[in-house]
Amino acid sequence: MFYSASDNKYPANRIVNNLGLHDGVLVGGVDEAGRGSIIGPLVVAGVSIRESKIAQLTDMGVRDSKALTPKARSRLFGEIIKVADSVCIRKVNPVEVDDSVWLRGLNRLEAKVMAAVINSIGADEVYVDCCDVNPERYREYIGQHLKCGSKVHSMHHADAINVVVSAASIIAKITRDEEIQHIRCRYRSIGSGYPSDDRTMHFIRRYVAKNGSAPEFARKSWKPLRLLLEQMAQCRLMA
């Protein structure tokens, strides 16, 4: 097992690689965390595991991360890392998310990052949680960036249907939560980071009012913050 970073546009923040140590079909799962958040990175994680070991994921209680308590996710994160043949985590910062949203290309960005993860985990077949209304179109987006021969299955709600994707969802969620915790340690009460969270929006409004700009870790393309910044710009013009 080793950890390394790659030199492509989406560097691997963590890679666990036991590939080549065993025979058998490798099954992969890829999922994201933080897509809808107004604060912090978009995290994409991939897990590959020998088909003969998939039952171990079920036995240890792996499910969609949203159906688990924080304590259970934390426990399972370590267990997944131990049993998996490969794990890859990639983070996309808010600036790049914004750039894609302005161009209405968030799905394409996520597909590109998922392809980079798939290229790293060495699976024969990969199941991905599809964010596009059209799973086949999303599969084609991913295929445009694949450098490996993995067969990709694009599915809605794959994190609840496929246990390997569920494992990836746990890895992504824990990593995303760690990123938010780093921000929370500095700024205290920031909430969950999602625009539906009153604490998060209260923090953003106070930050903008105090500093005259958005925090660097916030997504300016998200409508609540975009409108807030537009209102501030109009007030400056009228002053």
pLDDT one-digit tens code per residue, 179-207: 999 999 999 899 999 999 999 999 999 99
pLDDT at position 4, please?
A: 28
- Residue 175: inside a domain, yes or no? yes
Q: Please indicate, yes or no, if residue 239 is contained in any of the structural domains.
A: no
pLDDT band at 1; cut points 50, 70, 90: very low
> Is 60 exceeded by the pLDDT of residue 93?
yes
The stretch 10-28 carries a mean pLDDT of 66
User: Are 197 and 88 contained in the same domain?
Assistant: no
pTM: 0.90
Mean pLDDT of 211-217: 94
Whole-number Å distance between alpha carbons of 15 and 149: 19
Domain total in the chain: 2
CA–CA dist 164, 129 (Å, integer): 11
Cα-to-chain-centroid distance, residue 220: 19
Asked whether residue 238 is assigned to any structural domain, the reply reads no
- pLDDT of amino acid 187: 94
Residue recorded with tokens 């609540």: 224
Give the pLDDT of residue 232: 83
Question: What is the structure's pLDDT at 210?
Answer: 93
What's the DSSP call for residue 16?
Answer: E
Q: What percent of the chain has pLDDT over 70?
A: 90
Instruction: Say how many C-beta atoms besides its own lie within 10 A of residue 51's C-beta.
Output: 13
Q: Is residue 7 part of a domain?
A: no
Query: In the predicted model, is pLDDT for residue 231 greater than 80?
Result: yes
- Both 223 and 169 in a single domain? no
Q: pLDDT by residue (tens digit) across 128-185?
A: 999 999 999 999 999 999 999 999 999 999 999 999 999 999 999 999 999 999 999 9
CATH of residue 196's domain is 1.10.10.460
